[in-house]
């Protein structure tokens, strides 16, 4: 079966067209919803945005959902609503996208990176405890690939030190923990609706919370921190005033229509992701030098990523593995270059390579294989064949 040389070493690529690691799934259902939205009275934030927020709030089981222009702006609003500011420290994971830490940095607070639990690839509770100081105000755990961090331990730490928790659940929309939807845990959680995420609105994000005051703050900040009903407004109906430094992070009717139509398909998306994961797990488990993703702990996650770790037993390093998969036209990716490797965090906060050994060891092997609901069984087989062929070549 594998007489062929991998393409990277001179053989013919397994695929003619490139398979991306992630992709949206858009049908006529979504297209019609978007076109209908364009016929509405509003195309910026209006009743469809409220409907989408209500549907997400119901789905997650919380009182409030506040839609924003992206996951990044959702994090920004959450950090500001939490009241983070200069001099505060906010603990988060280094194995994430830069925006996670920006819930702190945008507010002037300092992001403090705690090392990860290498099994879950999420914050290690003990490492978090070691980073708590008198200046610690917040905690931002992140769901790597959709896999929950140790939620119970994070909540215990937050209680013990009176920290505001913002869950970066960008990868985790649609999953549950202890049969409770992910995002329902205090104080705020946020999602991204970028095209590769579990549902998409093109760009978009959402903060969810049960806290009335936080929700009010989030809504005000999203829209210029404008008081639309100040004293005097009744007599002078044009009178509206900015009471602070707000933003225009308004979500549109067009995005909301797309989001509602995607929500209708969430069970289908989860089912297909689960099927692909089961096929990968079965096919890859026995390959030496490949670690498959962790088993769910007390949860039924909706996985965004299928990230394996390639170790030296595989016979080639991660760089060669990635380039060899690309040569087969399989668009694997690495999530993520740890935040303490980035010049911004090094120059602003003095981080250096070598400071977070568990994160660095995991990072060295990480490769995300393609995972999205539009993948056919042939696409899945192509990925599996490419990994097996590469393993045979090296082992
Ligand atoms: C963990 C995590 N947090 C935040 C973001 C930012 O989301 P967005 O791209 O919607 O701004 C991303 C996006 O890739 C992410 O993966």
For residue 166, pLDDT beyond 70: yes
Q: What's the token pair of residue 217? A: 């703050």
For residue 192, pLDDT beyond 70: yes
Any atom of ligand 1 within 6 Å of the Cβ of 99? yes
Q: What is the pLDDT of residues 30-81, one digit of tens each?
A: 999 999 999 999 999 999 999 999 999 999 999 999 999 999 999 999 999 9
Task: Measure the CA–CA gap between 109 and 125, rounded to whole angstroms.
Answer: 21
Any atom of ligand 1 within 6 Å of the Cβ of 168? yes
Catalytic positions, written as ranges: 197
Rounded mean pLDDT, 126-152: 98
Give the burial class of 119: count Cβ atoms within 10 A of its Cβ; 0-12 exposed, 13-18 middle, 19 or more buried.
Answer: middle
| pLDDT value at residue 2 | 55
Q: What is the pLDDT of residues 225-263, one digit of tens each?
A: 999 999 999 999 999 999 999 999 999 999 999 999 999
Q: What's the token pair of residue 311? A: 């170790």
For residue 12, how far is its CA from the centre of ligand 1 (angstroms)?
35
C-alpha Rg value of the chain to the nearest Å:
22
For residue 47, how far is its CA from the centre of ligand 1 (angstroms)?
26
Query: Helix, strand or coil for residue 274?
Result: helix
Computed over every residue of the chain, the mean pLDDT equals 97
- pLDDT classification of 4: cutoffs 50, 70, 90: confident
Domain 28-263: top CATH class:
alpha beta
Any atom of ligand 1 within 6 Å of the Cβ of 170? yes
| pLDDT value at residue 304 | 98
E strand or H helix at 319: helix 318-327
Q: What is the pLDDT of residues 81-114, one digit of tens each?
A: 999 999 999 999 999 999 999 999 999 999 999 9
For residue 1, pLDDT beyond 80: no
Rounded mean pLDDT, 365-374: 98
For residue 315, how far is its CA from the centre of ligand 1 (angstroms)?
33
Closest Cα to residue 68, out of 90, 52, 82, 91? 52
| pLDDT value at residue 395 | 86
Q: What's the token pair of residue 239? A: 């009178």
Rounded-to-10 torsion of CA 138, 140, 141, 142: 180
Contact 129, 155 (CB under 8 A): no
Cβ partners under 8 Å of residue 148, min gap 6: 120, 122, 172, 175, 177, 182, 296, 297, 298, 299, 301
Task: Measure the CA–CA gap between 263 and 181, rounded to whole angstroms.
Answer: 14
For residue 144, pLDDT beyond 80: yes
Any atom of ligand 1 within 6 Å of the Cβ of 105? no
| pLDDT value at residue 269 | 98
Rounded mean pLDDT, 214-233: 96
Contact 192, 205 (CB under 8 A): yes
For residue 357, pLDDT beyond 70: yes
Q: What's the token pair of residue 149? A: 């961090």
Rounded mean pLDDT, 120-142: 98
Beta strands in 34-80, from DSSP E residues, in sequence order: 64-68
For residue 74, how far is its CA from the centre of ligand 1 (angstroms)?
9
Rounded mean pLDDT, 267-278: 98
Cβ partners under 8 Å of residue 130, min gap 6: 114
In the chain, where the domains are located: 7-24+266-394, 28-263
Domain 7-24+266-394: top CATH class:
alpha beta
State which of 147, 167, 192 you would mutate to test the pocket of ligand 1, scoring each by most atoms of that ligand within 8 A of its C-beta. Answer: 192
Any atom of ligand 1 within 6 Å of the Cβ of 201? no
Q: Which residues pair with 14 in a beta bridge?
A: none
| pLDDT value at residue 305 | 98
State which of 71, 74, 193, 201 you would mutate to test the pocket of ligand 1, scoring each by most atoms of that ligand within 8 A of its C-beta. Answer: 71
Task: Measure the CA–CA gap between 223 and 245, rounded to whole angstroms.
Answer: 10
Q: What's the token pair of residue 339? A: 């935040």
Domains 7-24+266-394 and 28-263 share a fold: no
Any atom of ligand 1 within 6 Å of the Cβ of 70? yes
């Amino acid at each position: 079966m594998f007489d062929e040389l991998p393409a990277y070493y001179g053989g013919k690529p397994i695929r003619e067209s490139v398979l991306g690691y992630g992709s949206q799934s858009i049908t006529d259902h979504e297209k019609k919803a978007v076109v209908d939205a364009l016929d509405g009275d509003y195309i910026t934030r209006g009743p469809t945005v409220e409907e989408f927020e209500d549907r997400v709030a119901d789905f997650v089981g919380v009182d409030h959902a506040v839609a924003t222009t992206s996951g990044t702006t959702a994090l920004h609003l959450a950090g500001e609503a939490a009241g983070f500011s200069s001099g505060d420290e906010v603990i988060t994971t280094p194995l994430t996208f830069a925006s996670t830490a920006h819930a702190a940095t945008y507010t002037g607070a300092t992001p403090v990176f705690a090392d990860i639990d290498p099994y879950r690839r999420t914050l290690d509770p003990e490492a978090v405890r070691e980073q708590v100081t008198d200046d610690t105000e917040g905690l931002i755990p992140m769901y790597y690939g959709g896999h929950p961090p140790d939620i119970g331990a994070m909540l215990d730490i937050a209680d013990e030190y009176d920290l505001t928790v913002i869950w970066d659940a960008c990868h985790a929309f649609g999953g549950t923990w202890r049969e409770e939807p992910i995002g329902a845990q205090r104080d705020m959680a946020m999602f991204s609706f970028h095209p590769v995420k579990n549902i998409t609105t093109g760009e978009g994000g959402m903060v969810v919370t049960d806290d009335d005051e936080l929700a009010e703050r989030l809504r005000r900040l999203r829209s210029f921190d404008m008081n639309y009903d100040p004293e005097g407004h009744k007599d002078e109906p044009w009178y509206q005033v900015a009471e602070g430094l707000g933003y225009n992070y308004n979500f549109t009717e067009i995005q909301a229509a797309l989001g509602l139509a995607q929500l209708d398909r969430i069970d289908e998306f989860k089912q297909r992701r689960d099927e692909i994961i089961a096929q990968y797990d079965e096919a890859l488990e026995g390959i030496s030098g490949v670690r498959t993703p962790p088993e769910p702990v007390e949860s039924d996650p909706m996985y965004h990523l299928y990230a394996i770790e390639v170790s030296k037993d595989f016979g080639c390093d991660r760089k060669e593995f990635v380039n060899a998969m690309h040569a087969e036209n399989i668009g694997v990716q690495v999530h993520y270059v740890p935040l303490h490797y980035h010049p911004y965090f090094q120059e602003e906060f003095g981080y250096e390579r070598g400071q977070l050994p568990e994160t660095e060891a995991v990072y060295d092997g990480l490769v995300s294989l393609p995972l999205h609901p539009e993948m056919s069984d042939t696409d899945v087989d192509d990925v599996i064949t490419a990994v097996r062929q590469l393993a045979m070549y090296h082992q």
